[in-house]
Amino acid sequence: MGEKDIISRTLESYNDVFADIINVFLLGGQEIIFPDELSDASSVSQYKADDKLRLQERDILKFWKNNGIKIASVGIENQSVSDRYMSARVIGYDGAAYRSQLNENGGGLLHPVITLVMYYGKEPWTAGDSLWDCLDIREELKPYVSNYTINIFDINKITEEQVSSLKSDFRHIAKYMLYRNNTDEYKPDDVEVRHLREVAEFLRVFEHDDRFVEIYNDCKDREGTTMCEFIDKFEAKGRAEGEAKGRAEERENGIRNAVLIYKKVKSSVEEAISGIIELYGLSDEAARSKVQQYWNC
């Protein structure tokens, strides 16, 4: 399992986040599932291949219960790349959940199994959403082959309405991703982040930027950090690093130009080394290294 799958699963596993995602992206914004109605279900099942029992593990599976009665099993699968065989994989997960019910059921009706695929890739999902999309199937056979359709939410298609409907920390993730390519419009919410570490890790992995976790480490010992404060600190750190990099580049260019000037006026290497030490306060070893680096440029 890749780091992106692990990090996204960690945040989504919180009942408040899980319920929020299902309500907004699967149920159209209706508040139907509540966090206290969810409980963890086993995400590991078995299947037989090559005469051997093998394990398969889905990302998250929870029971949705009301007054102790199971209403449904609801799962989330995370993808960072389009997978043409995703529908076949989901069939395996859902089928295992139904098989588990058969083994435990006393002859009554089964409860439904529902899976939502969350796709976080930067390119739109192109792999299709049904079993037929991954089958080489003749037209005359289609009436006899069930076309298992899966529920896919592509983060590239997120809307402002969906973001505003989110109530959990996933709102911060969704809003950031909605505006990640248009920073002029991104205004983080001035509300407390409940799962700050998981949000920071999520952004670190998906944006390939360790500064998100560095800012979390600065904030972790104080309560009530808002997303607005978190992003302000992140942007301030970025500006400071940019300014420091600019000063370092300016200093390096100055050393290089000084070495070339010493060479141009036919100074010796030793004279150049002494001059660089005096001008920039470098050690003898560092100054020699710089002169050797730039003398023959």
Q: How confident is the model at residue 43 (pLDDT cuts 50, 70, 90)?
A: confident
Sequence-distant (6+) residues with CB within 8 A of 221 are none
Q: How confident is the model at residue 184 (pLDDT cuts 50, 70, 90)?
A: low
CB 272 within 8 A of CB 278: no
Residues 264 and 131 in one domain: no
Q: How confident is the model at residue 197 (pLDDT cuts 50, 70, 90)?
A: very high
Query: Does residue 184 sit within a domain?
Result: no
Query: Does residue 182 sit within a domain?
Result: no
Flag whether pLDDT at 131 surpasses 90.
Answer: yes
Residues 147 and 22 in one domain: yes
Residues 44 and 148 in one domain: yes
Query: Does residue 92 sit within a domain?
Result: yes
Instruction: Choose the final residue of a domain: 159, 177, 208.
Output: 159
* C-alpha distances out from residue 206 to 56, 118, 127, 174, Å: 25, 14, 21, 12
Flag whether pLDDT at 177 surpasses 90.
Answer: no
- The helix or strand, by DSSP H or E, that contains position 219, with its residue range, turns out to be helix 211-219
CB 76 within 8 A of CB 60: yes
Strands 113-119 and 38-40: what pairing? unpaired
Q: Which amino acid is at 125?
A: W
The DSSP symbol for 152 reads E
Residue 222, Cβ neighbours under 10 Å: how many? 8
Q: What is the mean pLDDT of residues 71-87?
A: 93
pLDDT at 260: 86
Q: Give the residue from 136, 151, 131 showing the smallest Cα distance to 74.
A: 151
Number of domains composing the chain:
2
Q: Which amino acid is at 272?
A: A
Instruction: Choose the final residue of a domain: 159, 182, 210.
Output: 159
Query: Does residue 283 sit within a domain?
Result: yes
* Range of the structural domain that residue 258 is part of: 242-294
Range of weakest confidence among 42-51, 193-202, 267-276: 42-51
Residues 149 and 282 in one domain: no
CB 273 within 8 A of CB 287: yes
Query: Does residue 249 sit within a domain?
Result: yes
87/150 Cα distance (integer angstroms): 6
Query: Does residue 214 sit within a domain?
Result: no
Strands 113-119 and 69-79: what pairing? parallel
Helix (H, G, I), strand (E, B) or coil at 78: strand
Instruction: Choose the final residue of a domain: 129, 159, 189.
Output: 159
Q: Which amino acid is at 160?
A: E
* Torsion angle of the four alpha carbons 258, 264, 265, 266, in this order, in degrees rounded to the nearest 10: 110
Residue indicated by tokens 């005359």: 140
Residues 155 and 246 in one domain: no
Residues 151 and 278 in one domain: no
Query: Does residue 113 sit within a domain?
Result: yes
pLDDT digits (tens, 9 = 90+) for 5-32: 788 899 999 999 999 999 999 999 999 9
Query: Does residue 230 sit within a domain?
Result: no
